[in-house]
Amino acid sequence: MDTNKRLPNFEKVTQVMSVLSLFMVLLISGCAESSQDNEPTAKIVCDSDNGGITLPDGFCASVVVDSIGPARHMAVADNGDIYVKTRSEKGGVITLRDTTGDFQADIIEYFSDMTEMSQGIVWETGMAIHNGYIWASNKQEVYRWEMPQNGALVPEGEPEIIVSGFPDQWAHAS
């Protein structure tokens, strides 16, 4: 594929729908009970139309937020906070928090301008939460933030660059 050509609209729509579908599935799995104790958990509320997507029997989905633009990657923390890397001119990482238990993002806060970090490259290629860090990458580097502490919504400070200097590539190399 010639990286200088724009994707046809059909491919863009397919990519966006794939990401949104993944977002909803991960949200539901992130909301599932993960502890072995028998504490009551909130009942998951699903949209009657599953957020506009078709799912197999036994699955459901709910739109948590629809005002942040195209989501490219996301990770769900143990406390239910959702970290989203957006695909827009600015790029960026956003934290979503539900404070009322209705599975809707009540607090939305940006905490990183990916354009500055990526020298203008906003096509990020991954995101995860592992060992107390929020990990992310772009085409040229892998970086991480320490998870927010004491109920804070976003990490403090700039991310730590773990690996850099990958040659500029297309196709999710980092």
Domain limits, the chain: 9-164
Residue 38 pLDDT > 50, yes or no? no
Q: What is the pLDDT of residue 101?
A: 86
Secondary element (H or E) of residue 143: strand 141-146
> What per-residue confidence (pLDDT) applies to 35?
46
Q: What percent of the chain has pLDDT over 90?
A: 26
pLDDT-derived band at 13, boundaries 50, 70, 90: low
DSSP-based three-state secondary structure for 21? helix
Spatial separation of the C-alpha atoms in residues 171 and 174, rounded to whole Å = 9
The answer on pLDDT for 77 being more than 70 is yes
Question: What are the start-end ranges of the H helices in the chain?
Answer: 9-31, 114-117
Burial of 78 (0-12, 13-18, 19+ CB in 10 A): exposed
30 band by pLDDT with thresholds 50, 70 and 90? low
Q: For the chain, what percentages of helix, strand and coil (3-state, to nearest 5) are there?
A: 15, 25, 60
Residue type, 21: S
Torsional sign, CA 55, 60, 64, 66: positive
Q: What is the pLDDT of residue 140?
A: 77
Looking at the predicted structure, is the pLDDT value of residue 163 above 70? yes
Q: Which of 26-30, 138-142, 156-160 has the lowest mean pLDDT?
A: 26-30
Task: Supply the pLDDT for residue 174.
Answer: 46
Architecture of domain 9-164: Beta Barrel (2.40)
Structural contact between residues 155 and 146, judged by C-beta atoms closer than 8 angstroms: yes
Is the predicted pLDDT of residue 115 greater than 80, yes or no? Answer: no
pLDDT of residue 28: 56
Query: Secondary structure of 92-139 in the HEC alphabet?
Result: CEEEEECCCCCCCCCEEEEEECHHHHCCCCCCCCEEEEECCEEEEECC
The residue with greater pLDDT, 47 or 1, is 47
